[in-house]
Amino acid sequence: MAERKVTIGVLGAGHVGAHVAYALGMMGIADVVKICDPKEAKAVSERQDLMDAVYFMPHRVDYQLADYASLADCDIIINAVGDITLCATGSRDDEMHYTVRQVAETIPKVMAGGFDGIFINITNPCDVVTHLIAEKSGLPKGRVFGTGTLLDSSRLISAIAQQTGIEHHSFNAFMMGEHGDRQMIPWSLVNFRGKPLAQMEKDPRFQFDKEAVRTQTIKAGWVTYSGKFCTEYGICSAAATLARAVLHDERKIFPASVPLDGEYGESGIFCGVPALIGKNGVEEVMEYELPADEMAEFKACCETVRANIARAAALLGK
């Protein structure tokens, strides 16, 4: 009997989508990667380039062109539909006028083909679009989630590692809230193999200008964008890592854009918080006790997301 092949669809073959498809091969995650983009010539070119790279991948990967209906047999679809040039203003929210309409059009076409897997969203504004995909797909809770603050958390960890000289995997830190300018750092949860940051601050290496670090983390994406007018490597690695956690039932805790249903006193939105990711998608939202000042920051993030969800609904004429 032939072994079942792991199949992942990538919606959108732009800078991010193409790099996601590449990462899925190079990281040995997928057997089949289906590329779906309305710009047929672009999809054909990306598929050819990716097939040229298969020889250098850890195992054989079959890159295929796909329309919406033929994504039905995918285990996971990674949504990367967007127009990154709209970020030139310095705000991810400015993509909304394009992306929410595209997603509102695209997702019903995918679902009409019979897709019954898991959606991972990259498209910005991430929390808003992830919420819209969940709404338009009708998939059960947990089977739609977004990259959210995972990439931002990587940027935060990099900043801490550079200041302290401690390797990235030797401590825990993450960003919470929207994938945008209002995201926050729960400093109370930063720890070095269980030792809280507050106990390390006698050492100058662990004395952070916390607002400067937050600003550096938030602006890191714009540093990347300013010279190359896109972001690719970090976000494709984040999306591929989440896909691997699902496919291998890793049950790892990652910060991601997930549905809140009472956690942190919030409901009806998707927002970046740590969550347990496994074969069923979001299997548990991790709820941590935050001090009052950090909880207030997080609440402000949620209000921003809620307002943007309302804006998206208005754009769609709801």
Q: Look up tokens 């190079």; give the residue.
A: 26
DSSP line for the chain: -PPPPPEEEEE--SHHHHHHHHHHHHTT--SEEEEE-S-HHHHHHHHHHHHHHGGGSSS--EEEE--SGGGTT-SEEEE----GGGGGGS-GGGGHHHHHHHHHHHHHHHHHTT--SEEEE-PSSHHHHHHHHHHHH-PPTTSEEE-TTHHHHHHHHHHHHHHH---GGGSB---BB-SSTT-B--GGG-EETTEEGGGTTTSGGG---HHHHHHHHHHHHHHHHHHHSS--HHHHHHHHHHHHHHHTT--EEEEEEEEEESGGG-EEEEEEEEEEEETTEEEEE------HHHHHHHHHHHHHHHHHHHHHHHHTT-
- The answer to whether the CB of 51 falls within 8 A of the CB of 76 is no
pLDDT score at 122:
96
pLDDT by position in tens, the chain (length 318): 457 899 999 999 998 999 999 999 999 999 999 999 999 999 999 999 999 999 999 999 999 999 999 999 999 999 999 775 555 555 556 788 889 999 999 999 999 999 999 999 999 999 999 999 999 999 999 999 999 999 999 999 999 999 999 999 999 999 999 998 999 999 999 999 999 999 999 999 999 999 999 999 988 777 776 777 677 889 999 999 999 999 999 999 999 999 999 999 999 999 999 999 999 999 999 999 999 999 999 999 999 999 999 999 999 986
pLDDT score at 240:
98
Across 191-211, b (16+ Cβ under 10 Å) vs e yields ebeeeebeebeeeeebebeee
pLDDT score at 221:
75
pLDDT score at 82:
79
Q: How far is C-alpha 37 from the geometric centre of its chain's CA atoms?
A: 19
Furthest CA-CA distance within the chain: 62
* Active-site choice (15, 19, 179, 248): 179
pLDDT score at 93:
62
Active site residue 179: yes
Other Cβ atoms less than 10 A from the Cβ of 300: the count is 13
Beta strand 281-285 with 267-278 is: antiparallel
Beta strand 144-146 with 62-65 is: unpaired
> Which pTM does this prediction carry?
0.94
ω into 58 cis (within 30 of 0): no
pLDDT score at 281:
98
- The answer to whether the CB of 69 falls within 8 A of the CB of 55 is no
Over residues 53-98, the pLDDT tens digits come to: 999 999 999 999 999 999 999 999 999 997 755 555 555 567 888 8
Beta strand 191-192 with 195-196 is: antiparallel
